[in-house]
Structure 1
Amino acid sequence: MISETQNAPLIGLVELPQLKLSDAEGNDFYSLRKWEPIVSKQVLLSNLQAGGFQTKFINLRDGDYEENYGRITWRGIELTKNYVGVDIKTVDPESCEVWCITVNFTLYREIAILLLKHLSSKGKPVVLGGSDPVADPQVYLRNGAAVVVKDKSGAANWPLFNYLLGKGPKEALTGVVLADGTEYRKRKPPFYPEEWPLPSVEVAKECLGTQYWMDPFPEHLKPIGSIFPDMGCDRHCDFCQTPTYGTGYRRMTPQRVLQWLDIQRQAGAKSVVSVSDQFLGRVIFPDGREEVLEIMKGMRELDLAVLWPNGLELRKMTKGRGHSGKREDLTPDEELINALYHWDGRIGTLAAYIPAERPIFGREAYAKLVPWQQHKRIIHTIVRAGIPMISYGVIIGLPDDDDYSLCQLEEALWEVYHEVKAINPDIIFQTTPFVISPILGTPQGEAIRKSGLLRFDDPAIFAGFWTASIDTKHLTYEQVSDWQFR
């Protein structure tokens, strides 16, 4: 897709091809879904077009080409690293004046560097953005990036691209690092998602998907749109990179959320994925609870189903709204929970990730968690709201984990499973045991690296949630992996 602005140099926005990590029998160690909705490009395309820039979107997922770029031995198994989609070499590096690559997952670092080296081979500047370049700019600058964007809010974009196209001064740069190592710190306040330009229907169509958690995904809920209604977080969990972005918690108003969702509907979406950092962060503000109710009501009126892969903190679904203290009321807010999780068979919440994480042991790193009995009471209330699918996530492989603590955790998870099934026998309730990933730039990630427990430095392994890479103080990474797949 090329934007309508004519007689202007092209900025090429490239979506990375898909990672495929597999063994000799073809077993996949990464969830290969090529056709998920693409929210990051929807936001960026809209931002640049609103600034008068001419854009070209190239989706390298959109194909069946497969190329090997490496191998790694893990647990004595040789894993093959391939990318799947469109051959990177078919993109003409001279077809755009500036290139832009987003890398939100360290897993994709090697693929991103392959693309970076190709696009920069003819001298055109390549801009890198996303969570991984923010955490480690130098690895991309060493491999040919002209700029790494460290401001994730979008405030850096217009001054940067004006400068790269010779239309603006270097002095206007903000929130970026140049190839020579010069860093222009944030001189402008981060944008609120409310300030992001709305996508055109054409852009929204380009970013629709047909796959997500369920396989196959219900046909009557395709295609799938996407929205990022807030960014940042009010919490400071030590395993999470979000607090390091320096944006604070910023959200769209209900009116803006519904405008964005209506564009998804106009583009043909029958469902949407909300990839919020902390959707319920708004409830800590006056009238924030009412905002949630208004958004969910409006979403239903638009005849859209929603999936929540992130952003719904259990503690904020209580009458205490997550305000920790001795007198915090942890009673489930049934009206709020029903608004969030109701499903009538066609609209409402189709599926959600519930951040159970560590309900029994290893709670210290997770300030947002609630005590076990209150935790279960909230889960029961969610299930009664009618949601048909829950991914119940727990992180294992923390430094103090041993066989006893994981055995106790397993018993607790079975307890929840049986109680949930007693309420709704038809619910799809998947326990999702992710292994800990030492995310770069986080306190937990740094502590793990200093501890000597990390066994792999390959990003396809240590950045994955299905390939254990860290010993605990009591278990080898192989034993942690055995617990994950038992």
Structure 2
Amino acid sequence: MKIIFTIIEQGHFREGLIYKANRMWTPNVTAIMAEMQRQKGHDVTILDANACGWENRVLSKKIVEQSADLVVLMTQPSDRWQNPYPSIARQKNFVRTLRKTGYDGLFLAVGPHPTLLPENFLTEIPEVDYIVRGEPEIGVDQFIDRVVQKRPYDGVPGLSSRVMGDVVHFGDEKPVHNLDDLPMPAYDILPMEKYQHHFYSQVTDPRHRFAFIETNRGCPFGCSFCNLALYGRTIRRFSVARILAEIDLLVEKYGVNYLFFGDLTFGINRKDTEELLRGLIERKYALRWSCQTRVDMIDSDLILLMSQAGCHRIEAGIETAQAFLMKRVKNVRTQQLENLVQALNQANIKLESGHLVGLPNQSVRQVWQSARVLKKIGVRFKITSVTVPYPGTDDYAQGLKEGKIKLKDWQSIVAAAGKSGNKLTDRKIQVAIFIVQCLYYWHIFTSGVGGVLSSMPHLQAAWRGFQRLFYRPRDGAGAIKRTFEDVVYGAE
């Protein structure tokens, strides 16, 4: 059976108040699914249009030329499972282009969009035959087995389709409990030379080779805005031996010299993490890496070990420095953050954080105060963004309850972004983002030429935010004036 796994060109996402940047990271889950089918004797290809820069017509032509029996579309790679683009317009355009190009075989879609809003996905894109909800490896594997064996689809984990005009779910979602049962990703059929981390570029450093890697899946914490639909709350871990074997393969065969550990919470199992770090230290690779974690997951001893193992940057989802919001949203305290920053500075590891606008009970004044506190502590804002009420989150439930999410579709979710559980409006959210960016970039400019040059990729985002705020200059200036009056006089 000829199977093509594909990822469409993502591009940057801009709609309403939401901006999300494209990332060219290795599509690990897609490569794992491909290897599972290759081991069963199928003819498997991965076409990563996002990495290769192919538009839909080019990708569709390549699929038709290869006479595929089944196309499996990952709507967004696993590095975007937590915060996918809140839209299926790109997926719809691709599927329709592919069908018009002449592909008449089976089409299966997996990933965050069919998982979060399956009925909406199948209704909006009727050209898709089937979807697999949730973590896709087991469901896709069993679906392909049933296709080959020409058996009914009843009980296939996560499988859904339209039957007589109605959406039917053939089986419940089924995550992989023992991650070591999964094969190594099929890196040999990926364009490994194309992938890069957004902090680096093959233009400025031709030797840059990047890979995204997991040590665990799942997250037990209950952040109000966090989308865990494809992960679940149960932590499942790859063994340290498996992780190190994958790193050995990436470094020795593909020349990878930069890794990003994409776990939602790196270091959640202290024993395994220390064993992994010591394994990296023993190997003495010229390897740098970064990760994302929580403030309360690491301490000075672990930070020192991470630095020795090649870590140079940590992304911590701090989101806010308002004490009551930190407790509610992340269940951490400001003192923990201050201690973390001190330990990271001593280890020469940079700390970056997202700063969210639109948290429950948040006001513009609180956003401004929070940004000032984070800047004073020494936290660098990686990006300032608006909360998206993804289905299944507390923010989504609150948005439905308040009537701010009118319909269960992506357009309604975009319209409600940043407004669940608070009194923020579009204009106030724009002003809040502008204030945070002003504070951050003023700090960058006053830190000297080096700070400016190191932050050039982010300055474009700031300029876009500036333009967005002032698309109606008179209203924008008035909004800023009113906001600062609110901040100074406490009128909000």
The corresponding residue for 2:300 is 334
Q: 1:210 to 1:109 in 2, by over 3 A?
A: same
CA-atom RMSD in angstroms: 3.3
Structure-2 separation of matches of 1:270 and 1:15: 24
Structure-2 separation of matches of 1:38 and 1:127: 17
Residue 455 of structure 1 contacts residue 471 of structure 1 at CA under 8 Å; is this kept in 2?
no
Report the TM-score when normalising by structure 2.
Answer: 0.74
Q: 1:100 to 1:210 in 2, by over 3 A?
A: closer
Q: State the Cα deviation string for residues 142-165 of structure 1 (Å, max 9, x = none).
A: 212222112405222221112223
The corresponding residue for 2:21 is 31
Q: Which runs of 5 or more structure 2 residues have no equivalent in the other structure?
A: 77-83, 436-492
Structure-2 separation of matches of 1:459 and 1:136: 8
Report the TM-score when normalising by structure 1.
Answer: 0.75
Structure-2 separation of matches of 1:461 and 1:296: 44
Residue 242 of structure 1 contacts residue 277 of structure 1 at CA under 8 Å; is this kept in 2?
no
Structure-1 separation of matches of 2:316 and 2:111: 25
The corresponding residue for 2:217 is 231
The corresponding residue for 1:374 is 336
Q: How does 1:139-218 map to 2 (within 5 A)?
A: 139-142=120-123, 143=125, 144-152=127-135, 154-166=137-149, 168-171=151-154, 173-180=156-163, 181-186=167-172, 190-200=176-186, 202-203=188-189, 205-207=190-192, 209-216=194-201
Q: How does 1:465-484 map to 2 (within 5 A)?
A: 470=419, 473-484=422-433
Residue 133 of structure 1 contacts residue 140 of structure 1 at CA under 8 Å; is this kept in 2?
yes
SS in 1 for 2:326: coil
The corresponding residue for 2:362 is 401
SS in 2 for 1:401: coil
Structure-2 separation of matches of 1:236 and 1:149: 25
Establish whether residue 305 from structure 1 lines up as the match of residue 287 from structure 2.
Answer: yes
Q: State the Cα deviation string for residues 387-412 of structure 1 (Å, max 9, x = none).
A: 2x432222111241213312321221
Q: 1:183 to 1:446 in 2, by over 3 A?
A: same
SS in 2 for 1:434: strand
In the TM superposition, residue 212 of structure 1 has moved relative to its aligned partner by: 1.9
SS in 2 for 1:273: strand
Q: State the Cα deviation string for residues 269-304 of structure 1 (Å, max 9, x = none).
A: 1111221133323x2xxxxx2211121222342615
Q: 1:223 to 1:86 in 2, by over 3 A?
A: farther
In the TM superposition, residue 306 of structure 1 has moved relative to its aligned partner by: 4.6
Q: 1:30 to 1:242 in 2, by over 3 A?
A: closer
Q: 1:206 to 1:45 in 2, by over 3 A?
A: farther
In the TM superposition, residue 99 of structure 1 has moved relative to its aligned partner by: 0.7
Structure-2 separation of matches of 1:478 and 1:117: 36
Structure-2 separation of matches of 1:458 and 1:114: 17
Establish whether residue 269 from structure 1 lines up as the match of residue 250 from structure 2.
Answer: no
The corresponding residue for 1:17 is 9
Q: 1:304 to 1:40 in 2, by over 3 A?
A: farther
Aligned residues: 414
In the TM superposition, residue 244 of structure 1 has moved relative to its aligned partner by: 6.7
The corresponding residue for 1:56 is 45
Identity of aligned residues (%): 16
Q: Which of residues 282, 305, 312 in structure 2 aligns to 1:350?
A: 312
Most deviating of 350-359 and 453-462: 453-462
SS in 1 for 2:47: strand
In the TM superposition, residue 168 of structure 1 has moved relative to its aligned partner by: 4.8
In the TM superposition, residue 101 of structure 1 has moved relative to its aligned partner by: 0.8
Structure-1 separation of matches of 2:87 and 2:8: 8
In the TM superposition, residue 243 of structure 1 has moved relative to its aligned partner by: 5.8
Q: 1:39 to 1:350 in 2, by over 3 A?
A: farther
Q: Which of residues 49, 61, 72 in structure 2 aligns to 1:90?
A: 61
One-letter amino acid matched to 2:431? D
Q: Which of residues 385, 391, 399 in structure 2 aligns to 1:448?
A: 399
One-letter amino acid matched to 2:373? A
The corresponding residue for 2:439 is none
